Amino acid sequence: MPPWSRPEPFGAWVRLDDRTLVAVDHALAARLGVPSGQQPADAPAPPRPLEVHLAVNARCHAPCADCYLDARPDGAEPSLEELRERLASVRALGASTVAFGGGEPLLREDLGELAAFARSLGLVPVMTTSGFGLREERAKELRAFAQINVSHDGVGGAYAAVRGFDGARVAERAIEILARAGIPVGVNLVLTRRSFEHLHATAERVADLGAGEVQLLRYKPQGRAAGLGYFEARLSAAQREALWPAITAIVHQRRLSVRIDCALVPLLSEALAVEPRAAEMLASLGVFGCEAGRHLGGIDVAGRAAPCSFSPSSSEEIDRFRAYHASPPEPCASCTLFPVCRGGCQVVSRHAANEFRPDPECPRVRRTEAST
């Protein structure tokens, strides 16, 4: 029997270990000794999240120019008991993974205790940090985390160009400390016009430091980035065309595993159009498009539910995401990549047009709009 499973209409979700989550059909669930679900006769129940992003504070001393949360040194910080209750609610939802974020989570002295409590509930805790404040002795307190990702937006001055200050060395020291402590460490890299220029060199550098994974994140117009400067900082058209070759080049080096933000899928649509069975290929790699309000959820620093950590917190917002995904307009409705894209990033769409609509940076969407 696997350590964690959850019945679903298609069969079950099964976690084989702390880092492997797979969907299995009814037959395989039975072979594994896992109870499987059945498709309800009436309308299906609302989806339950597999992963929840939990804001453990809104405090941070780093002056990042484009912080999506607008975190500040005097930002809010829930009590330990409040976060225990929120973790229990995450477990009650049926989630497998809880991702701790902020603000800067390392500002909490009880972070290791919270991770251990999540483990005791059967959750897999992971975390994202800038690395500021991490010391060797502190890392020993964080071994309950299945993985910790350090934000590093690039070598060659790219970090400073993205964030407005140079914290690259702090991030690199944190990667080294975590690797020495035996904690699986990854890197979150926000793709902007400047950071993309140094993508390959950054990947090589963090692999040298001990990282095992790089997660590529789309630059999103949220928080301090929700201004006209977003349009100058986002990837250029030429960079969007070069993104898929850049990803495959990192993979072929066999030094890092690569994860992509679900919001990046529409930017890859042109490159993937020539791939046979592209949707099936991406699904086999765990890419399922925008999961906001579906298999992904967020809990903000005030304890309110959100579709994802970049979206407003309310049940109405969650319903809006679900309604859009259930009935997308063209050209998304007929796109073969919709199952692994789901209409693109609505944070971007709503910044551009103040409404739910197909991602305006998707090449197919741009061609459709130009023709009409």
- pLDDT by residue for the chain (372 residues), tens digit each? 778 888 887 788 888 775 677 778 888 888 888 887 765 555 556 778 999 999 999 999 999 988 988 899 999 999 999 999 999 999 999 999 999 999 999 999 999 999 999 999 999 999 999 999 999 999 999 999 999 999 999 999 999 999 999 999 999 999 999 999 999 999 999 999 999 999 999 999 999 999 999 999 999 999 999 988 999 999 999 999 999 999 999 999 999 999 999 899 999 888 887 777 888 887 777 777 899 998 899 999 999 999 999 999 999 999 999 999 999 999 999 998 998 899 999 999 999 888 999 999 999 899 988 887
Q: Same domain, yes or no, for 196 and 80?
A: yes
Q: Which helix (H) or strand (E) holds 305?
A: strand 305-306
Q: Same domain, yes or no, for 2 and 68?
A: no
Q: Same domain, yes or no, for 181 and 215?
A: yes
**Is 234:196 a contact under the CB 8 Å cutoff?**
no
Q: Kindly state the DSSP code that residue 72 receives in the 8-state scheme.
A: B
Q: What pLDDT score was predicted for residue 43?
A: 54
Q: Same domain, yes or no, for 74 and 14?
A: no
Last residue of a domain, one of 208, 231, 260: 260
Q: Same domain, yes or no, for 243 and 197?
A: yes
Q: Same domain, yes or no, for 100 and 3?
A: no
- Confirm whether 120 is domain-assigned: yes
**Pairing verdict, β 97-101 and 124-129:** parallel
Q: What is the pTM of this model?
A: 0.91
Return the axis-axis angle of helices 168-180 and 199-209, rounded to nearest 10°: 40
Last residue of a domain, one of 231, 260, 289: 260
Q: Same domain, yes or no, for 7 and 76?
A: no
Would you put residue 33 in left (φ > 0), alpha (ψ -120 to 50) or beta?
left
* Residue 129 DSSP SS3: strand
Q: Same domain, yes or no, for 18 and 155?
A: no
Q: Same domain, yes or no, for 164 and 40?
A: no
Give how many domains the chain has, as a whole number: 2
Task: List the strands of the sheet with 4-8, edge to edge.
Answer: 4-8, 11-17, 20-25
| HSE value, Cβ hemisphere, 13 Å, CA-based, for 314 | 4
Q: Dig out the tokens for 29 from the structure.
A: 């669930």
- Confirm whether 175 is domain-assigned: yes
- Confirm whether 66 is domain-assigned: yes
- Confirm whether 366 is domain-assigned: no
Q: What pLDDT score was predicted for residue 39?
A: 55
Q: Same domain, yes or no, for 7 and 121?
A: no
Q: What pLDDT score was predicted for residue 177?
A: 98
- Confirm whether 39 is domain-assigned: yes
Domain that holds residue 37: 1-44
- Confirm whether 310 is domain-assigned: no
Q: What pLDDT score was predicted for residue 48?
A: 86
- Confirm whether 352 is domain-assigned: no
- Confirm whether 305 is domain-assigned: no
Q: Same domain, yes or no, for 32 and 174?
A: no
Q: Same domain, yes or no, for 166 and 228?
A: yes
Q: Kindly state the DSSP code that residue 354 receives in the 8-state scheme.
A: S
Amino acid at 114: L
Strand partners, 24: 12
Cα–Cα distance list, 91 to 47, 57, 96 (Å): 15, 20, 7
Last residue of a domain, one of 235, 260, 285: 260
